Amino acid sequence: MRITLLGAGAWGTALSIAFAGKHELTLWSREEDVAADLLASRENHRFFPGYKLPESVAVATDFEAAVATAELLIVATPIAGLRPTVERLKAIGCTLPLLWVCKGFEAGTGKLPHQVVTDVLGQQALCGALSGPSFAEEVAAGQPTAVALAASDPAFAREAARQLHTARLRIYANDDLVGVEVGGAVKNVLAIATGVCDGLGLGLNSRAALMTRGLAEIARLGLALGADRQTFMGLAGMGDLILTCTGDLSRNRRVGLALAENKSLPQILEELGHVAEGVYTAREVDRLSTQLGVDMPISAAVAAVLDGRLTAAAALELLMARDPKEELA
């Protein structure tokens, strides 16, 4: 299959490496300097150093030309780049099947990725999300990984999963697009909370409680948006939550660790050097859960800390002071 990856950040580069042995790939970069570096050294020193891009992967900066040769497109930008990218696709009349790997709610609109795509391309677009417990570094290194490929068209989800499945990157089809996207979005917020918990030295009991109650928050919001509860027990729910809350490669967890040190958010993001989607998603989750009447105290606490309304320690005190309730209510 001829695949074009739109976005030469960490994920675009990692997936190019992962799929290179099976498919004909083009990696499109918006940044001329990144493309030049990839062509000269076969390494993405700016966004993904340490991993060589196979010689078989073409590198392009001409958007229309890169898209014209493809049978499948994969958008590998942060969620802030999703709308501009699909708007460019619409402008050139592209109707190719489309996947995305971004996770979160769009800042300002509070929309999930599939809603953004539908806004621009309409309901008829053949599209879906690739999501689950996966760090780009480990995918590029060929470490065994399993993710979900979700689409509202089950036949497309099954066929795309079959085509992209490799010995090292196992891909499972899923028809609950809302659930997969909600799981992928909210787990980043909870990873910030877990980072705060670990940074404050609260112990493993606290971490386990936080993750478990966080999963309940994910499920409550997902169900309110029409998701299937079972999805949150799978790769894009519990699986992604466990990885992002405990893995040292998690950018969102690192944000939480830094917040526990009382660092300012601008300082944290500058030191991080990459997008941590949970920072922007927390505000949208807090706004959406309030609008829908969904109880999400951990997510609300994270939003308050990020906005400077609470310190990490004060947020913890508020959470611990909540009245007792039935666990599964």
Q: Do 38 and 117 belong to one domain? A: yes
**Residue 153's pLDDT is what?**
95
- Euclidean distance between CA atoms 299 and 311, whole angstroms: 14
Q: Tell whether 33 and 166 lie within a shared domain.
A: yes
Q: Using an 8 Å Cβ cutoff, are 272 and 254 in contact?
A: yes
3-state class (DSSP) for residue 129: strand
Domain co-membership, 55 together with 144: yes
pLDDT mean over 189-206: 95
Is 143 part of a structural domain of the chain? yes
Q: What percentage of the chain carries pLDDT values higher than 90?
A: 92
Residue pLDDT, tens place only, 159-191: 999 999 999 999 999 999 999 999 999 999 999
Q: Is residue 325 domain-resident?
A: no
Q: Are the C-beta atoms of residues 6 and 40 closer than 8 Å to each other?
A: no
Mean pLDDT to the nearest integer, 199-204: 95
- 223 & 291 share domain: yes
Q: Are residues 93 and 237 in the same domain?
A: no
Q: Are residues 195 and 120 in the same domain?
A: no
Whether 328 is in a domain gets the answer no
Instruction: Please give the angle made by the CA atoms of 31, 34 and 38, to the nearest 5 degrees.
Output: 140
- Give the predicted TM-score (pTM) of the model: 0.95
The answer, yes or no, to whether residue 329 has pLDDT greater than 70, is no
What does the DSSP 8-state code read for residue 170? E
> Are the CB atoms for 174 and 157 separated by under 8 Å?
yes
Bridge partners for 147 per DSSP: 171
Can you give the residue range of the structural domain that contains 299? 185-320
Structural domain includes residue 150: yes
**Marked catalytic residue, from 52, 103, 187, 325:** 187
pLDDT tier at 275 (50, 70, 90 boundaries)? confident
In a domain, 83, yes or no: yes
The CATH number for 15's domain is 3.40.50.720
CATH number reported for the structural domain that contains residue 220 in this entry:
1.10.1040.10
138 and 218 within one domain: no
Measured in degrees and rounded to the nearest 5, phi and psi for residue 273 equal 75, 0
**Is 63 a member of any domain?**
yes
- The verdict on 169 and 243 lying in the same domain is no
How far apart CA 125 and CA 167 sit, in angstroms, is 29
Helix (H, G, I), strand (E, B) or coil at 74: strand
- 3-class state of residue 241 by DSSP: helix
Helix, strand, coil shares, percent, the chain, to 5:
55, 15, 35
- According to DSSP, the residues that pair with 73 across neighbouring strands are 4, 98
Average pLDDT, the chain: 95
Do the strands 98-100 and 169-174 form a parallel or antiparallel pair, or are they unpaired? unpaired
Assess whether 16 and 107 both reside in one domain: yes
Tokens 């490496």 map to which residue?
17
Q: Are 190 and 219 in contact (CB under 8 A)?
A: no
Based on the fold, state whether residues 91 and 235 are members of the same structural domain: no
Number of domains in the chain: 2
Q: Is 111 a catalytic residue?
A: no
For residue 136, is pLDDT > 90? Answer: yes
Quick one: what percent of the chain has pLDDT higher than 70? 100
* 326 inside domain: no
The verdict on 158 and 200 lying in the same domain is: no
Signed CA dihedral, 309, 312, 313, 315: sign only: positive
Verify that 164 and 50 share a domain, yes or no.
Answer: yes
